[in-house]
């Protein structure tokens, strides 16, 4: 029979130090998530009828949870608080599931972004299209239709109102913008998820080690 008694370090210090370092990295990434989500939300808040802004809002929420949870993780790891480590691991697992959902949703929506955005564009009001066309510096959705705001409609020689297609059409500009940002969001979710998973493993190992060898009262 294989002896597995020495698979874990004999002292929790070899587990809690990497856990604290990983939590510090996750805390910094949490700041990045909040900053990126806040920037995207502020930029797209006036376009929420055309572009779904739930993803940037979700990223902000996850980033805030990371900021709080990683601080708690550092404290309970340093003090070797068993109950705190258990709750930390459970909440990290919940966040990991949320990250998988955000990352998977970003990649899946990215592959078919043109259809829902085009549908939203058709349903948008004239003012909403004007705002989007000014923001993205584009005109109309495609060459094949006239779903334009009033700022992209001109009167031709015959006196008819026609789309002004001197600029790039908005289907190209808007969809490309959304797809690039969704790729960044998905990649960030995967990266943070990997680091978070490793942190959970260290937390679990630390829990096992503390249960096997409780620290003496004179430890502090």
Domain contains 24: yes
Domain contains 76: yes
Domain contains 88: yes
Instruction: Return the pLDDT at 145.
Output: 62
| Average confidence (pLDDT) over 126-135 | 86
Domain contains 150: no
Question: Is the sign of the CA dihedral 128, 133, 136, 140 positive or negative?
Answer: positive
Instruction: Return the pLDDT at 87.
Output: 92
- Is the model's pLDDT at 89 over the cut of 70? yes
Any idea which of 44-53, 71-80, 128-137, 172-181 has the lowest mean pLDDT? Answer: 44-53
- The alpha helices in the chain, defined as continuous H runs, are 13-44, 54-79, 82-111, 114-123, 126-136, 170-212
Count of the separate structural domains present in the chain: 1
Domain contains 74: yes
């Amino acid at each position: 029979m294989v002896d597995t008694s020495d698979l874990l370090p004999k002292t929790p210090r070899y587990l809690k130090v990497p856990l604290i370092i990983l939590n510090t990295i996750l805390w910094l990434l949490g700041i990045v998530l909040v900053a990126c989500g806040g920037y995207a939300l502020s930029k797209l808040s006036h376009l929420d009828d055309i572009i779904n802004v739930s993803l940037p809002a979700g990223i902000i929420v996850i980033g805030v949870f990371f900021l709080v949870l990683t601080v708690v993780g550092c404290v309970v790891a340093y003090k070797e608080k068993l109950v705190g480590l258990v709750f930390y691991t459970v909440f990290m697992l919940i966040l990991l599931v949320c990250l998988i959902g955000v990352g998977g949703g970003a990649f899946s929506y990215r592959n078919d972004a043109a259809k829902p955005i085009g549908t939203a564009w058709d349903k948008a009001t004239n003012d909403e299209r004007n705002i989007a066309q000014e923001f993205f510096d584009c005109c109309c959705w495609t060459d094949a239709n006239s779903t334009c705001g009033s700022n992209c409609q001109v009167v031709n020689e015959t006196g008819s109102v026609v789309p002004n297609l001197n600029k790039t059409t908005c289907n190209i500009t808007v969809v490309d913008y959304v797809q690039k940002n969704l790729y960044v969001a998905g990649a960030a979710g995967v990266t943070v998820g990997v680091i978070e998973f490793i942190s959970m493993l260290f937390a679990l190992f630390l829990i096992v080690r503390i249960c096997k060898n409780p620290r003496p009262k004179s430890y502090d």
